[in-house]
């Protein structure tokens, strides 16, 4: 029960003992980076007659943290500098190569969740013995006005093809 730990701003923590990650290779390019399969230079990884892409799966474990929406919204409203920083990062992202092909909303809430995620990854690496590179993140961030739903969560997980994905240290921590 989360109430026993008296953690501010946290709604729930879930220990995910089994994580399955499936990665599919849709294609590649050799000389120039590309953003879409329709771009010149893209080479598809599947046969035109096939209905599948080459893929592999790995297993591991993870921790999911859900944050209190109201508390995040109050924090953002109290800190005007967060809006300024988010606007600056959004402008830089929009002008970047990746941003030109993959639009994304760099909201203050997303920046908060992403920063917390990296801080937790650093600390968990130290506490659990995993290398920072073997820990991954998924940010669950949405706003009611933009996305039609409200989300604020982080999944930190490890999954690899070797034994490091099955040590159990992340969930134990």
pLDDT at 47 over 70: yes
Range scoring the smallest mean pLDDT among 43-47, 65-69, 89-93: 43-47
- Do 153 and 69 contact (CB within 8 A), yes or no? no
Rounded mean pLDDT, 82-105: 88
23-27, 106-110, 115-119 — most confident range: 115-119
Radius of gyration of the chain (CA): 19
Separation CA 116–CA 152 (nearest Å): 11
pLDDT at 170 over 70: yes
Separation CA 27–CA 50 (nearest Å): 14
Separation CA 28–CA 41 (nearest Å): 8
Q: What is the pTM of this model?
A: 0.82
pLDDT at 89 over 90: yes
pLDDT at 159 over 60: yes
162 — pLDDT class (breaks 50, 70, 90): low
- Contacts with 127 (C-beta within 8 Å, 6 or more apart), sequence order: 173
pLDDT of amino acid 168:
62
Tokens of 157: 């997980």
By the 10 Å C-beta count (0-12 exposed, 13-18 middle, 19+ buried), 157 is classed as buried
Tokens of 74: 């109050």
């Amino acid at each position: 029960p989360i109430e026993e730990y008296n953690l501010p701003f946290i709604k729930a923590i879930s220990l995910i003992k089994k994580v399955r990650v499936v990665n599919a290779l849709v294609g590649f390019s050799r000389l120039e980076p590309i953003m879409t399969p329709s771009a010149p230079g893209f080479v598809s990884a599947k046969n035109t007659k096939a209905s599948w892409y080459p893929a592999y799966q790995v297993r591991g474990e993870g921790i999911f943290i859900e944050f209190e929406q109201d508390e995040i919204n109050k924090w953002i409203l109290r800190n005007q500098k967060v809006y300024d920083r988010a606007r600056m990062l959004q402008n830089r992202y929009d002008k970047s190569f990746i941003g030109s092909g993959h639009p994304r909303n760099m909201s203050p809430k997303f920046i908060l969740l992403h920063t917390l995620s990296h801080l937790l990854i650093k600390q968990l690496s130290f506490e659990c013995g995993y290398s920072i590179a073997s820990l991954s993140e998924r940010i669950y961030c949405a706003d009611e006005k933009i996305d039609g739903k409200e989300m604020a969560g982080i999944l930190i997980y490890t999954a690899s093809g070797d034994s490091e994905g099955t040590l159990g240290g992340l969930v134990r921590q």
